[in-house]
Chains A and B, each alone.
Chain A
Amino acid sequence: MSAQTPFAIKTNVEMGTYTMVNMKNSIVKSKANLHRTGRYAKLFGGMAVLAVTAAPAMAQTADCSFFEGKTVELIVPFNAGGGFDSYSRMVANHMGSKLGAQNMIVRNQPGAGGLLATNQTWVASAEGLLVQMMSTSGMLTAELGGADGVSFESGGFSWIGRVSGEPDVIAVGPNNKITSVDDIRAISAERKVRIGSSGIGDIDYIEAELLTTVFDLDSNIVVGFSGAPEVYASLARGELDLFVSSHSAGQQAQSAESARIMWLFDSEADPDFPDLEPIGAYLEGDDLALVTAHGDLVAGGRALAGPPGIPAERLACLREAFDQTMEDPAFLAESEATNRPVSPIGGAELADMISGLTENAPQAYVDLLRKSYQN
């Protein structure tokens, strides 16, 4: 029997993970993020730089009169009130006018952990008046893992740009004795290491499987929590040993004294979080490759995309409006004042990155995703 849960099953999972770190200088850091998230993009480095520098010139020639007086719809695949929703509303608020559109409205279309909306956007009209805020890591793991209900190919969407992205971290309970990877291995020698997760197929489940594999642990992945806040409460009660979540959710829990963040779930250190040691430091060979592949995938973050086949000129307009929005002082001021940091990546580079991930993901990683979805 197949067992698939693409994306986060429950919308409150999403609600629990959007918490944003206080990155006042996030904008300055976007360059560093670009560097970090662009391992695949590095393959296309020269191309990407060309694309970025060429973009304004191209945009100036692009005729965006199509959008004048029209309404652009921004689909949010989760309920109103969560992180995806608030980021989307912030973007829509500023991007519509840059596009020359009459307005840009947000429509929430929750269901099946984001899959419902993403499937519908995949077959929506490609005239350029409908775009979606994508949960890229969720859609990529679902696609690569062969999850039920996926009827899209991530690489095929018309990518407009990444709004924000952050790494995942490994946290332990506030009173837990774990201070090193050896401590985890020591627990594993005595009893099962308990790792929390919202549900099979969720990103935190895949990360729990990854930890089990790369550190060769005897683990019990406890699933069924309603979302990151509930797992962190369980961690605080001492019921669990480990949990992997977004950095911001971990940071939130650490401030609430529900957890201690121990490591970055990535192969390399992150210039944004210099104090955090990557677990890659303890790994080599195939294990390191697994964590690298996953880190790249998580870096996709929250990104805007339209249905496949948006005419090139209109896509250029959308990308230009997106880039302008990301540089707009009013947008950046709102982002900073409301603790919703952005770390933009342009559409062309993002598209290359996504295609690179789906086409070049290591087989061992794909196998692990398939195992996670078909437990």
Chain B
Amino acid sequence: MIEAALSGLLQVVSPYALSLMLIGIVIGFVVGILPGLGGPVALALMLPFTFGMTPIETFCFLLSTMVVTTTAGGITSILFGIPGEATAAAIVLDGHPMAKQGEAGRAIGAMLMASLLGAVIGAIAIVLSIPIIRPIVLAFGPPEFFMLTLVGLTFISVLSDGSMTKGLIMATAGILVALVGIDPQTAVPRYTFGLLELWDGISIVAIVIGLFGGPQILELMLSKSSIATGTASNDVRGIWQGFKDSFIHWNVVLRAGLIGAGVGIVPGVGGSVAQFIAYGHAKQTSREPEKFGKGSMEGLLAASGNNNAKDGGALIPMISFGLPGSVSTAIVLTAFLIVGITPGPAMLTEHLDVTFAMIWVTIIANVIVLLITIPLIKPLSRVTLVSGPLLAPFLLVLVVLGAYATHNSMHDVWVMLAAAAIGVLCQRFNWPKVPLLLGVVLGEICERYFFLSHSLFGWDWLSRPIVIGFAVIMAFIFFRAGRQAWLKTRQQGSPA
């Protein structure tokens, strides 16, 4: 195994492969920073260029873009409060408040280092799972996936910003949005109003950009001031502080990374959910949960640390079974076929060096992006000092383009604008946005795996050991949330 690991590393750092990786990183960085324009679109457009490359060169080129879009998406989330990628939405929650407080450099530094550490955790998870990779993937069927989505939904109790009732109402609204489209069981069109555009459901990317981007852009236009008020602190010193922060809170990053790697394995659940589970978990276990949403370093690290770890997790079912865990990995799977390698047991024996090369790429690409960003931090964080009315039209064009590019359709632009209106109303009347997003993302998966579980096993699936394990975790989350709420009321009541 060590031999394969070394062979993979040597092939990745060969000059040609490394230069391909650099190209991939630059593409990933630009695409990641632009809101909405996501990794899958970039990867799809890069596929034809892999013609003539060896397998390892292909993966250097594509995987570096995949991981870097994820990381760079966080920069936009921090600076503008608009997720650069759908998977970087949770970074907005605490990263952007930090930028507003003039700590953009520190936030970006912490985000980059946590992403790198997350990538390392994801990589270790794959390496450790190599001997048992197939039994692990086989142990998770529709019932286990269903329970995992339920665990995701229980975090609504933590992510409701104080009012559980409002959180549940928003989550229910999100699930209703997820019902739009063709019913997966009966193939009946639901709430599609005769529009074929709605048959595939509502685009999650458009919702994420609108929900978070709308209020930010409006605020910038109305406030007539820049994002950060006053002068930004010394950003280069800030980035080092950010690096240090991610080591000081190493346990938050570690747990976020493990959650990312674990959730990444589940096909279809992926990054949009992993970030909120990691964030919700960090909030629930934090000594200072009240700081979450107002610029908490722990919140930022939890949201960043899972990001690249989940890419590592998503590689596990793809390498071992050809089962893509996300849209991006589905495109990487196409690349597998183009270069003539078949995912499966051979990836763990004959092509183990390729598997290791893929793991190395996820780590090395993150190291390089970190090094590239250091000199860029200063100019990037200066953007937060640009006057709002100047910046807003530029951002508006980007979010419209991003929404359009998802499916080359104006339909997604309307969805984004509607989500933006909802986002603004949430902000104005203090309703939580995150439960709505979780409802949309998890609603569809939850329904599909529930019916699949029932079709396959009747009600017997309820007695499966992993299902029971997840049920215990859920009970624990509820108990803890309830206890915290009770303690809070008691504290508030006692002075009187």
| Chain A contact residues, CB within 8 Å of chain B | 1-5, 9-12, 15-16, 18-20, 22, 79-83, 85-86, 89-90, 93, 107-113, 115-116, 119, 148-149, 194, 199-201, 220, 222-226, 229-230, 232-234, 236-237, 239-240, 252-253, 255-258, 334, 337-340, 373, 375
Contact = CB atoms under 8 A, between A and B. Distances in A.
Interface stretch (B18-26, B387-395, B448-456): B448-456
Contacts, number: 178
Nearest to B319: A256
Contacts of A237: 138, 141
Contact of A112 (B41, B184, B199): B199
Interface in B172-198: 182, 184-189, 196-197
Contacts of B321: 229, 232-233, 236, 256, 258
A4 B344 contact: no
B48 A149 contact: no
A242 to B, nearest CB: 14
A256 B320 contact: yes
Identify the 3 closest CB pairs spanning chains A and B, nearest first. A256-B344, A80-B44, A81-B44
B323 A9 contact: no
Interface in B317-372: 317, 320-324, 327, 330-331, 333-334, 337-340, 342-346
Given A80-B44, A80-B45, A200-B186, A253 B322 contact: yes
B450 to A, nearest CB: 9
B264 to A, nearest CB: 16
Nearest to B342: A255
B309 interface: no
A81 B48 contact: no
A148 B189 contact: yes
Nearest to A80: B44
Given A22-B340, A93-B48, A337-B51, A229 B409 contact: no
Contacts of B324: 12, 15, 229
26 contacts: A4-B189, A5-B182, A9-B182, A79-B44, A80-B40, A81-B40, A81-B43, A81-B44, A81-B331, A82-B334, A109-B407, A109-B408, A112-B200, A113-B200, A116-B196, A200-B187, A220-B455, A222-B455, A222-B456, A234-B141, A234-B456, A237-B138, A252-B342, A258-B322, A337-B52, A338-B338
B184 A224 contact: yes
Given A236-B321, A256-B322, A15 B330 contact: yes
A86 B338 contact: yes
Given A81-B43, A89-B48, A107-B408, A20 B200 contact: no
A10 B188 CA distance: 14
Interface centre among A9, A89, A234, by most B CB within 10 Å? A9
A156 to B, nearest CB: 19
Nearest to A334: B51
A112 B199 CA distance: 5
A124 B170 CA distance: 41
Nearest to A238: B138
Contacts of A83: 334
Contact of A113 (B186, B199, B317): B199
B5 interface: no
A83 B321 CA distance: 18
B385 interface: no
A224 B199 CA distance: 15
Contacts of A109: 407-409
B334 A86 contact: yes
Contacts of B189: 4, 148
B289 interface: no
A229 B322 contact: yes
Contacts of B334: 15, 18, 81-83, 86
A109 B188 CA distance: 22
A119 B184 CA distance: 22
Given A81-B40, A229-B333, A233-B317, 8 more contacts: A9-B200, A19-B322, A85-B47, A112-B199, A113-B199, A230-B267, A256-B343, A375-B186
B401 interface: no
B200 A111 contact: yes
B28 interface: no
Nearest to A116: B196
A58 to B, nearest CB: 32
Contacts of A200: 185-187
A225 B268 CA distance: 11
Greatest chain B CB density within 10 A among A220, A226, A334, A340 is at A226
Give the interface centre of A22, A90, A199, A375 by most chain B CB atoms within 10 Å.
A199
